[in-house]
Amino acid sequence: MKEYERKQLLERIGREGATVGATIPDRIEIQGETVDLREFVFEIKRRDTVPAGERERVEQAKKNLRRERRERTELIEDGDISREEGEALVEAIIGIDRALNALENLGPTNLEAEIEAQETADKKRWMNFLQKALGQDRDSQGSHRSRSS
């Protein structure tokens, strides 16, 4: 492959909208193991949130996909490959990126943190309400004033 062709392929995978219209591959070989990638992503995406038992599996899948993407990109950058092999790698990388985008945009995966943040916001709203109701709001200088004065 010529150097300008290599640069074109690398530019395609680095493009902002490269995954627009791309499909997630049905199957992909990752670290020597065949994975039903599309089925896995759609199975996880069907749920509103990722259950505790699945979080580790999803995080491991994302880690493996990132590693595979990096290795395939390095093959394009440094490998002695043909233009056709490069094209196939680009298509696979874009499919991996599409799967990663889908997995990254899942609903809340840490329900405990989400609940705690909601409770904190509720308490803050309640305290603000009580302060206003009791006439203990702050004036522009930041000092307390009471409405009964």
Contact by Cβ (8 Å): 22, 94: yes
Reduce the DSSP state of residue 33 to 3 states and report it. Answer: strand
Query: Rounded to whole angstroms, what are the CA distances from 84 to 6, 19, 88, 117?
Result: 11, 20, 6, 50
**pLDDT at site 107:** 56
Q: pTM for the complete prediction?
A: 0.64
Residues of the chain under the 50 pLDDT cut: 109, 140-141, 149
DSSP state of 144: B
Region at 34 (left for phi over 0; alpha for psi -120 to 50; beta for the rest): beta
- Residue 42, both tokens: 């759609």
**pLDDT at site 22:** 80
